[in-house]
Amino acid sequence: MKASVIGGGTWGSAFAVHLGRLNIETQLWIREHDIYEDVQKSQENKVFLPGVIFPSLVSFFNEFEEALRSTGIVFIAVPSGFCRQIYQKIAPFLTSGQIIVSLTKGIEKGSLKRMSEIMEEVFPFPPRIVVLSGPSFAKEIIEEHPTAVVIASPDLGLARKVQHFVSNPYFRAYASQDMVGVELCGALKNIIAIAAGISNALKFGHNSIAALITRGLAEMTRLGLKLGAESQTFAGLAGIGDLVLTCTGELSRNRSVGVELGKGKSLEEITSKMKMIAEGITTTLSVHQLAAREKIEMPICEKVYQVLYENKDPKKALQELLSRRLKDE
């Protein structure tokens, strides 16, 4: 079965390399025409994945119709803010037999919907949707470090099909039916990672990060359960696994945003210098609204929201967190 990958950023390019190494014929769609043309000549994405040569089984496209032709499985790796637009553009070229796999970790601004919910809205037939998430830095997958992820779909048979399709000795996938939980984990952990970056910039130690991860997981779980997720998902790879990685790993874009905020830089100043999107910035706004709608207490996420969108001083935000009314765990 041939595969399509929609999205030529770091994650999409890395996943195309991974599929090519699995001897899967892969068609990678790249949005930026200049990057597309350069990749065609050099077999390297010098902007988002420098130094990595694509396997010969990976081909490159700038048009959706060509990128999606004759493939049985479509992996979509674009930032959440662009997903609805991309879904609408690819919809005419999808077939009912294709499996659609979301690699996106975010919640849509405004609608507050997960990516699978948007797919169900946009695609012209009931799509065969799967979600892939978990602790997986693109760079480390390229370097073939042992990595474990979760493949989720309400149709467990479909999840297992994708599980076997993408797994190899260094990339191990586990199957799950909790698509809601896996999607929420992938989005929510990015907010806690921003808080972890702030903590790092303020020179707080391991105690502080441990507290953020643990209490952050409690917030994530509260919202997830209210939205229909399963608690065990938050204790697994998609939840605590990805949360630990994103809060402690120096490759984390969201943690890096927090570090810069903690140094006193404005959000505009930080984002103007980034070539890649940190999903946690928009997700924080969406989760602020979700928590209010669902009447769920999420104090860490709320303080990150205030730092990002209300210009609250990061140190003051931390002091307010610590001075909250004492309570039972």
Report d(CA 280, CA 308) in Å as an integer.
10
Report CA dihedral (24, 27, 31, 32) to the nearest 10 degrees.
Answer: 80
Note if 189 is an active site residue: yes
The closest of 261, 266, 263, 259 to 200, measured between CA atoms, is: 259
Distances (CA, A) of 111 to 11, 85, 108, 183, 315: 25, 14, 6, 15, 32
A 10 A CB-CB count for 187 gives: 26
Question: Is residue 6 a contact partner of residue 76, using CB atoms and an 8 Å limit?
Answer: yes
The closest of 57, 95, 103 to 76, measured between CA atoms, is: 103
Sheet with strand 99-102: strands edge to edge:
58-61, 26-29, 3-6, 73-76, 99-102, 128-133, 147-152, 171-176
Residue 322, C-beta contacts closer than 8 angstroms, at least 6 positions apart = none
Q: Which helix (H) or strand (E) holds 248?
A: helix 242-248
State both tokens at 38: 């350069």
The closest of 175, 169, 165 to 24, measured between CA atoms, is: 165
Detail the DSSP E strand segments found in 158-297: 171-176
Report d(CA 276, CA 269) in Å as an integer.
14
The one-character DSSP state at 53 is B
Which residue out of 89, 189, 295, 327 is catalytically annotated?
A: 189
The closest of 304, 252, 303, 259 to 278, measured between CA atoms, is: 252
Active site residues: 189
